[in-house]
Structures are given as C-alpha cells and as structure tokens.
A and B are shown apart, each in its own frame.
Chain A
C-alpha cells in the first residue's frame, strides 16, 4: 500500500507512538536521570503483567464486550499460585494450576455472556463483586508466606527472572498479534465485534467466539498474575484490587481499539501499555504525587475515547 494509505489506516497507532516518543523526549530534557537509573527496566517488568492482560482485554473489546472482573480474577489467581507453592508444588505445576483457575473464572464469565445473554458489563460487574467478596471473606488480607524457593523469579536469580518475565510477555504478544491477524479464528473475533449477525450468516459461531474470548481472558489473567507474583517471595492477596481492570482497559483504549468493537490492533495496545506504564513513573520523576494516579487514569481514558470520537466525526 502507499505510504499515505498506511498513514491513514494506522493513524491511531502512529499518534500513540508519537505521544510516547514525545513523553520520552520531555523526560530526556527535564529529568534525564530517568534513563540512567534503571527505571526503564523496572517499567518493562511491571508492565509485563499489564501487557499480557491487555492482550486478553483487546480480544474482548474487539468482540464488542467488556470484562471488568479481571482485577478480582488476578487477586484470586495470585492467591491460588501462593497456596500451591506453599504446598511445595514445583513451579511449572503451580503455573498450570493457576491457569486452570483463571480458565474456570473466564469460562464462567463466558457462560453468562455468551449463553445466558447477560450483557457483559452487568455480568462482569456481578462476577467482579462475587469474586472479590468471596476472596475477602476467605482471606482477610494476610500475606501468603512460606512459599517454595522456586517461586520467586521462577527460581532464577533476579536478573534472569526479570528477563524471563519480559520474554514471556513478549512471546505471548507476538503469538497473539500474529494469530489475530493471520489465523481464521483470530479474524473471527473482529467479525463478531463488527457485526455479530453478519458473522453468523457467514458461518462463524458468535456465541462460541464470545465464550472463547472470555475464557482466553481468564487464562491470560492467570499468566499476568504469575508474572506479577513471582517478583516477591510472598504473595500479597491485595494484588489487583487497586483498579487493575481500569489500567488495562485504559491501555487498550489508548492503543486505538474502538470500544464499539471490530477495530484496533495489538501493536497499538503495546504502545498504549508502554505509554501508560511510563506515564506513571514519569509523573513521579517530574514531581507529581501518587494520589493523583486514579484521576489521571480516568482523564486518559476519557481523552483517548473523546479524541477518537471527535476525530471520527470530522472524517
């Protein structure tokens, strides 16, 4: 395609990338020690779980659904991982067990949305509350300690472990980015999100696609939980409670995925995750305070969708 066509088609992704570069530029000028202090590496490691979850959320939003229960799912997966490790399960089995837990929760959401026809906002609002309250009831906030030694950083030393976390996220990203574009099942997600009835008439099974998308989200949330939990030698059951789902949705929406479904790319989401992850740290380096985090996040979501809508109106 011509250069001009490329620019028009991917204008969202390009503008997000430009915003990211602009941010890095501002940092280079105002706070250059940002780059020297190993902060970038920390950002990548802590953004890895967000990226993995954002992959799943992208699929969900592409399919014209939403899932606001992933914060609670993340919490529960962390707890499951902690408990399995307490029982001295080797880390690969811990990972497998956690993913099964995630799959179960995702499948429950999928069942409610795809087969019982409950709108996803309501269904995931309900499951979010049920999961969160059940977790709180069962674990009053005490840390899960006494984990097997191979839990932290997968049993590797810190540097190798950090690389492992980033590489797992990167590999999953590449796999899904390719699948959603080149594999028929992946394209089916776009089709269902654009027009479910047309997709059905074309031979796709929208219910099955919707169910699968939620199930995948569950598994990816479990992976994200693992990537987040292995950073410490104990498990904090409050992981994921502070608005994880909003962080992920913000990254996806900033990355250009249309909330009405059917449009958007994972590359854009990657830049969105990088941008938002860097903004949080950058604000600290530029002198802002942590208690403005939530406000900034909400403002970013609104700005991103507003600029998208505004731009689309003037097309």
Chain B
C-alpha cells in the first residue's frame, strides 16, 4: 500500500481511520489484557481470586481512578494536566491545616479543600486560555508549584493525623460489610463525567475542540470557556481524590498523590483516548484504570517488587500508543470515489 501519510490527496478520498472501530478494538484488547492479568495473578498471588480482593484492588487504586476519569475530558480537548498528583498533595495538607490548626469542623475543612482544588484548576485554566500558553508547560509549572507549596506549608515534615472516625469511614468503611464506601464516590463521578462527555452538547464541543480547535471556533463554540471548564473540573476532582486519600490512609501528607499523574494518564491513553485529542471514552479510561489497578495489586500479592509495577506501567503507556496508532492505520479505508 503506498505511503499516503505525506501525499496530498483530495480530502474526500484520504484514507481515514474508522474511529469507532479503533476505540472499540482498543477496549477489546484492553479487556483481554485484564483477563490475562487476572489469570496470571490468580496463580502467582496469594488469595488473589476472591471477592474481597477484587474490592480491595479497586479500593487501593481508587484515587487514580478518579484522576483518570477527570483527565479524560482534558486530554480529549488536546490538552494535558500534569499537576493532578501534586494538587492532591497540596489539597491534602490544606485540608489537614484547616481541620487541625484552624479548628474547622472536618466536613467544612473538606469543603475548603475542594475550594482549593477549584481555584487551582482555575489557575491552570486561566493561564492556558487567557495567556494561550501550552497546557504542557503550564501544568509542568503548576506540578512543581503545587507540590512545592505543599512542602513549604508543612516544612516538608509535618503530617496531619487523628481524623474523626465519621470522616475516615469514607476511606476505610464498607457498605454492607463488603463494598468500600469510596467506590460509591468513583461510581458517581464516573456517571457524571460519562454523561457530561458523551451525552451533553458541551461534551460534544470538547471533542470538536480536540479534533480541530479552529474549526470549533468557527462553528461558534466558546472554546476558551469550555477549556477553562475542563481544567477547573480536573482541579475539583483532584481535591476530591485527595480527600478520599486522606480518609483512606488516615493521614494528610505533602507527598500525597506522588506519581499518580503518570498512572492516570496511562489509564486514559490505554482506554483509547487519543493523546492528541478529538476522541475519548470515560468507559475506556475506567478499563485502563482497571488494568493498572489489577497489575499493581497482583504484583503486591505475588510478592514482586513495586518497582516492577512502575516499569510495566511505563511500558504499557508506550505500548498503548503504539497499538492505538497501528489500529488507526489498519482500520483506515478510503471513502468516496474509489
């Protein structure tokens, strides 16, 4: 087949990938990967194949799942948010400070923390939309700034503990003795984001913006407002993830969420969302998240080092993009005259 990637063909006959087939096939590959992982770890891991462990797997990585869902619309618009993990750290310590040092009631402190997340997302969004700076460098800067502020506020050593049981139930409690409470949070957020991205006109607009920003602008979409919205939402969900994290581990430290941004981005890309924007799927991101969560839990139960998990995640990220590209070129077909 001739290399058509650089030839200028008439628009109608240019081979275009069948995007829905690409996304569906990528998710099928992902589902198979998850099944393979489960099979392998059922053999090598102690007590892996059990209902309790299934819930525990979800519970351990839940914060990453929240981040992955929130990052999906961001990446769909062609942007990226590297600061989500660091924002978790900042929100966690501010939450701790409001509760312990300013003596706010714990749920008010949580609300305050969510406010911080909104403001942080606003900062990212304003720099990206008003000043037209590339999301990459803005969020690289805020990635450093947020973590740095968290370390500064706690003098790099302070640690907030002793939260009331009514609060830690959120991260350590179980409904009907089986379902982790925080899973409900993830389910609610996932449904909201799924509806937002796939069932509203705003969500459609996001896809258009990622596919062709100028085209979206000419179509009358308020591009800046939409982009600002996704970064604000990302900040909000990051702070929500931080609150779940603090409830889960019972302590608020400046290093909360370290490395989570990589896991979240990998989950999103694994799920079929294009890193270039223009197509994406919340369901896919959840599948990608599952693949990573099962991998991490499986390695822990098989007594393998967690560094191996990190390496495999990096490899998965690269593999996901390569597979995505291959699927796109395989499902390409000419439309029109021929």
Contact = CB atoms under 8 A, between A and B. Distances in A.
Interface of A: 66, 68, 112, 116-119, 121-123, 125-130, 132-134, 136-137, 243, 246, 249-250, 253, 259-260, 289, 291-299, 301-302, 305-306, 309-310, 313
B314 A133 contact: yes
Interface string B20-46: 000000000000000000000000000
Given A121-B80, A291-B152, A309-B132, A298 B307 contact: no
A305 B130 CA distance: 13
Contacts of B141: 298-299, 301-302, 305
Choose among B151, B309, B314, B322 the residue with the greatest number of A CB atoms under 10 Å from its CB: B314
Interface of B: 80, 127, 131-134, 136-138, 140-149, 151-152, 155-156, 259, 262, 265, 269, 275-276, 305, 307-311, 313-315, 317-318, 321-322, 325
A134 B131 contact: no
Contacts of A128: 314
B22 to A, nearest CB: 15
A200 to B, nearest CB: 8
B238 to A, nearest CB: 16
A285 to B, nearest CB: 18
A158 to B, nearest CB: 31
Contacts of A306: 127, 131, 133
Contact of B155 (A66, A122, A289, A301): A289
A301 B144 CA distance: 9
Contacts of B151: 291-292, 294-295
Given A66-B136, A133-B310, A306-B133, A293 B315 contact: no
Nearest to A138: B307
Contacts of A123: 318
B125 to A, nearest CB: 13
Contact of A136 (B132, B140, B307): B307
B263 to A, nearest CB: 9
Binding site of B, secondary structure by majority: helix, strand, loop or mixed?
helix
Nearest to B146: A298
B321 A133 contact: no
B144 A122 contact: no
B240 to A, nearest CB: 22
Contacts of A291: 151-152, 155-156
B202 to A, nearest CB: 26
Nearest to B127: A306
17 contacts: A66-B136, A116-B325, A118-B321, A118-B322, A126-B315, A129-B262, A130-B314, A246-B144, A250-B144, A253-B137, A291-B152, A295-B149, A297-B145, A298-B145, A301-B140, A306-B133, A309-B132
Contacts of B80: 121
A137 B144 contact: no
A116 B325 CA distance: 9
A241 B158 CA distance: 22
A122 B321 contact: yes
A296 B147 CA distance: 11
Contact of A305 (B137, B149, B262, B314): B137
B308 A243 contact: no
Nearest to A66: B136
A259 B134 CA distance: 8
Choose among A116, A118, A123, A313 the residue with the greatest number of B CB atoms under 10 Å from its CB: A118
Nearest to A121: B136
Contacts of B325: 116-117
Nearest to A304: B141
Contacts of B276: 119
Contacts of B147: 294-295, 298
Nearest to B324: A118
Given A132-B310, A289-B155, A122 B140 contact: no
Contacts of B311: 129-130, 133-134, 137
A309 B305 CA distance: 45
Contacts of A260: 134
Contacts of B315: 126, 130
A299 B146 CA distance: 9
A242 to B, nearest CB: 11
A173 to B, nearest CB: 24
A63 to B, nearest CB: 14
Contact of A116 (B134, B259, B322): B322
A145 B155 CA distance: 32
Nearest to A68: B140
Contacts of A294: 144-145, 147-148, 151-152
A302 B137 CA distance: 8
B19 to A, nearest CB: 18
A177 to B, nearest CB: 23
Given A66-B136, A112-B318, A253-B137, A302 B310 contact: no
A310 B130 CA distance: 9
Contact of A137 (B152, B265, B308, B318): B308
A268 to B, nearest CB: 16
Contacts of A293: 148
Contacts of A313: 131-132
A301 B140 CA distance: 8
B310 A130 contact: yes
Contacts of A116: 318, 322, 325
A309 B275 CA distance: 24
A134 B306 CA distance: 10
Contact of B133 (A292, A295, A296, A305): A305
Contacts of A112: 318
Nearest to A300: B141
Nearest to A296: B148
Given A122-B269, A299-B145, A127 B314 contact: yes
A193 to B, nearest CB: 13
B193 to A, nearest CB: 22
A68 B141 CA distance: 12
